[in-house]
């Protein structure tokens, strides 16, 4: 039996519709318009694309967008000065410094300089601490998106066996913490697998919910998946090029996830595609965190 496809595009669309209503309500009742400031240092093509998408999403939801594009040779001191100015700007509720930064800038130092109450990426140590004790204000965006996909696909989580493949600070660790919390959409028993796990399949085969963020194409195969499991594929790996559907003369990236999709979807109960699964959720969760930051002011 082929798995049910969990469409990140459709879930993100639904959440944005709900969010647009809340943003309009905040403006009408309190005169507050959420504002997101994005900071881009250099002209990394992927970073430019991400920031453009974030600014577009802000405007579509009725939020204010403040874009700061700095040359690649910008000093760490000047970047920190800009962050300090944004911290003090009451029109800015959320600050996002696009990573990666040029090598001469200490990323950790910059992220830690952001006011925790404006850290809509959820990477500041204060917000990581809030996440650990179950009092998060701004959960990291990709893990928050994963949890929403699980909840909105009506996948039971209470008492479920969750296996996370990958232990990154951006995805693996935070989603494992979120799924073990004593709250709705969590209450699971969580196992984290990584590069030193001895027999990964032994763990993945007992997962009711399998979250794969390994960074390796097709790392999880069909024989590693429990029949009927919900499989969330976080991986986005560029493995080549293919002709565009809209313009056959133009080549676009050929992407694969961390899950061997075609065989696994014949075993799993539910599965996210790549692209179109977790990806669309990340920016949506960033918008939700920015709204929450604005609401804190009220």
Question: What φ, ψ does residue 230 adopt, rounded to 5°?
Answer: -90, 120
Per-residue pLDDT tens digits for 17-48: 999 999 999 999 999 999 999 999 998 888 88
Per-residue pLDDT, averaged over 207-226, amounts to 97
Q: What range does the domain containing 92 cover? A: 31-118
* Pure H helices in 61-159: 76-88, 107-113, 125-132, 141-152
CATH code where residue 242 lies: 3.40.50.720
96 and 199 together in one domain: no
The answer to whether the beta carbons of residues 121 and 83 sit under 8 Å apart is no
What percent of the chain shows pLDDT beyond 70?
100
Q: Would residue 295 count as lying in a domain?
A: no
Give the active site residue among 117, 118, 119, 121.
121
Q: Would residue 20 count as lying in a domain?
A: no
- Residue 249 pLDDT level (bands cut at 50, 70, 90): confident
For 150-165, b where at least 16 C-beta lie within 10 A, e where not — what string? beebebebeebbbbbb
112 and 171 together in one domain: no
User: 181 catalytic, yes or no?
Assistant: no
Q: How many CB atoms lie within 10 A of CB 72?
A: 12
Per-residue pLDDT, averaged over 170-175, amounts to 97
178 and 68 together in one domain: no
Q: Where a domain ends, among 59, 87, 118?
A: 118
Q: Where a domain ends, among 63, 86, 118?
A: 118
- Residue 241 pLDDT level (bands cut at 50, 70, 90): confident
Whether 71 shows a pLDDT value over 90: the answer reads: yes
Tally of domains within the chain: 2
Q: Where a domain ends, among 85, 118, 151?
A: 118
231 and 267 together in one domain: yes
Give the active site residue among 54, 118, 226, 265.
54
The answer to whether the beta carbons of residues 175 and 121 sit under 8 Å apart is no
User: 121 catalytic, yes or no?
Assistant: yes
181 and 229 together in one domain: yes
78 and 47 together in one domain: yes
Per-residue pLDDT tens digits for 82-127: 999 999 999 999 999 999 999 999 999 999 999 999 999 999 999 9
153 and 266 together in one domain: yes
Q: Would residue 16 count as lying in a domain?
A: no
Sorted by sequence, the CB contacts under 8 Å of residue 295 that are 6+ apart come out as: 26, 32
CA distance linking residue 82 with residue 86, whole number of Å: 6
The answer to whether the beta carbons of residues 237 and 190 sit under 8 Å apart is no
Q: Would residue 239 count as lying in a domain?
A: yes
Q: Would residue 148 count as lying in a domain?
A: yes
CATH code where residue 79 lies: 3.40.50.10860
Give the active site residue among 98, 218, 233, 265.
98
Q: Would residue 269 count as lying in a domain?
A: yes
245 and 194 together in one domain: yes
74 and 151 together in one domain: no
Q: Which residues pair with 69 in a beta bridge?
A: 40
Q: Would residue 296 count as lying in a domain?
A: no
Q: How many CB atoms lie within 10 A of CB 117?
A: 19
Q: Would residue 163 count as lying in a domain?
A: yes
């Amino acid at each position: 039996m082929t798995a049910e496809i969990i469409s990140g595009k459709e879930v993100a669309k639904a959440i944005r519709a709900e969010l647009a209503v809340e943003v309009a309500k905040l403006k009408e009742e309190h005169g507050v318009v959420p504002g997101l400031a994005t900071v881009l240092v250099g002209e990394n093509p992927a970073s430019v694309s991400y920031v453009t998408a974030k600014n577009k999403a802000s405007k579509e939801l009725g939020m204010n967008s403040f874009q700061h594009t700095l040359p690649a040779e910008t000093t760490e001191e000047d970047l920190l000065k800009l962050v300090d100015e944004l911290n003090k700007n009451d029109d800015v509720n959320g600050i996002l410094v696009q990573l990666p930064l040029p090598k001469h800038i200490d990323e950790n130092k910059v992220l830690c300089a952001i006011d925790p109450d404006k850290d809509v990426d959820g990477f500041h140590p204060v917000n990581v601490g809030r996440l650990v004790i179950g009092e998060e204000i701004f959960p990291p965006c990709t893990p928050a998106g994963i949890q929403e996909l699980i909840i909105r696909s009506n996948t039971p989580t209470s008492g479920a066996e969750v296996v996370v493949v990958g232990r990154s600070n951006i995805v693996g660790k935070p989603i494992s913490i979120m799924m073990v919390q004593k709250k709705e959409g969590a209450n699971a028993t969580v196992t984290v697998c990584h590069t030193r796990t001895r027999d990964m399949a032994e763990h993945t085969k007992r997962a009711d919910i399998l979250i794969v963020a390994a960074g390796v194409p097709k790392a999880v195969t069909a024989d590693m998946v429990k029949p009927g499991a919900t499989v969330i594929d976080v991986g986005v790996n560029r493995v080549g090029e293919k002709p565009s559907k809209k313009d056959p003369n133009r080549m676009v990236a050929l992407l694969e996830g961390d899950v061997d999709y075609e065989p696994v979807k014949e075993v799993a109960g539910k599965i996210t595609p790549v692209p179109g699964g977790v990806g669309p959720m990340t920016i949506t969760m960033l918008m939700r965190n920015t709204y929450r930051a604005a609401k804190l002011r009220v």
